[in-house]
Amino acid sequence: MKNGKIFLISFILVILSLLLYLFKSFLLVIIIASLMAVATSNINAKFLHLTKGHKFFASILTTSCMVILFFAPFFYTMIELAKTLKNFDISLISNTLDYIKNYQFTLPEGFNFLEPKVKEFLASIDLNNISKQALNYASSFTKSGAKFLIDMALICVFYFFANLYGTELVIYLKSIVPVDRNELDDVLSEVGNVMAVVLYSMVIIAIFQGTLFGIITMFYGYDGILMGAIFAVSSLIPAVGGALVYIPVSLYEFASNGLNSALVILIYSIVVISFIADTLIKPLIIKWINKKLVKTPTKINELLIFLAMIAGISSFGFWGIILGPAILTFFISTIRMYVILKDKKLI
C-alpha cells in the first residue's frame, strides 16, 4: 500500500513536470489570465445567472466584457502608435531639439550662476545621436508592442478557459486540501477580493489619469482621446509612467508654441496627475473600490496592496501590477492556512 502511494505521487509529479514543460512558454500568460479570472469571478457569476447556468455562453460574455473594458484600449493605443511611428517625420525631433539648444533664455536673478552651466549642457547635446536613439526606441517599441499584443491575445484565450473550467478546478482543490470548507472559502475569497481590488483600481486609475491628460492636451489642439489613451497605457509602465508622454509633448509644445504652453502642460502633469492623482488619490480610489465594488471588502490594508503593486512593477515589469498583490495575498493566505492547520493539530 505504501509503495503504491509513493508510486502514484511520483507519477503525478512526473506528469505535472511534463505539463509545466509543455506550457513553459505560456506560464506567465496562464497565471495572469487565471488571476484576472479570479478578479472578475463576480462578473462571470452574474452572466451565469443571466444565461441560466450556461457556462460556455457566460464565459464568452465575460471574456467579451473584459476585452471591451480592458484590452480594447490597449489595442487601440498600440495600433494608433504604430500608425503614427510609421508616418513619423524624424526631423520633428531634430527641429525641436535644435530649437531648444539654440534658445536664448535668462534665468531669474537668484539663479544667474546656473546660466553658464545650462548653456554648456545645451551646447553639448548631440542631435544626431539623439535622433538615432529615437529611431532605435521606435523600432524596439514596434517589436515589443507586437509581442505585447500577442500576449494579450493569448491572455484572452486562457482567460476564457479559466472562466469556463475555473469552478470545477476550485471544487477539486477544495476536495484535496485538508481544511474545513468554510475556512478554505474565506481564504480563497480573500485572494479573489484582493485580485478584484487590484484589477478594478488599475483600470479606473489609468482611465482617470488618461482623462486628466486628455483634457489638458485638448486645449492645445491635440487629439484628446488618443493622447488620453496613450497616457493611460504609459501610466502603467514601470518607473517612468506618464513621463514618457508629458515630457516629449511639453518639449514639442515649447518648440512649436512657446514656453508658456509647455510649462502649463509640464506643471499640470507633474502636480495634478503625477502627484495629486497618482500619489494622493490612488490609495483613496483603492480604498473606495475595496468598500464599494468588491462584494466582501478585503481584510488586507489598502496601502499594503498599493505597495505590493509598486513592488510588483519593480520586480516583474508591467504584469507585476497583478503579480505583486497576488504573491502578497497568497503569502498571507498561506500563513492563515498554517495557523488553521496548526490549531486543528493537523501539522
pLDDT for residue 93: 64
Cβ count near 268 (within 10 Å): 18
Closest of 250, 243, 241 to residue 217, by C-alpha: 250
Highest mean pLDDT among 104-118, 148-162, 280-294: 148-162
Q: Per-residue pLDDT tens for 56-115?
A: 888 899 888 888 877 777 777 777 777 766 666 666 666 676 766 666 666 566 556 666
Q: Per-residue pLDDT tens for 200-234?
A: 877 888 888 889 999 999 988 888 888 888 888 77
Dihedral (CA of 256, 257, 260, 262) sign: negative
CB 253 within 8 A of CB 261: yes
pLDDT for residue 259: 73
* Pairwise CA distance, residues 319 & 309, whole Å: 10
Q: Which amino acid is at 4?
A: G
pLDDT for residue 21: 81
Q: What's the Cα-to-Cα distance from 90 to each of 95, 244, 271, rounded to whole Å?
A: 9, 17, 30
154's CB contacts (< 8 A; 6+ apart) are: 26, 29, 33
Beta strand extents in 271-325 (DSSP E only): none
Q: Which amino acid is at 177?
A: V
Q: Residue 30: pLDDT above 70?
A: yes
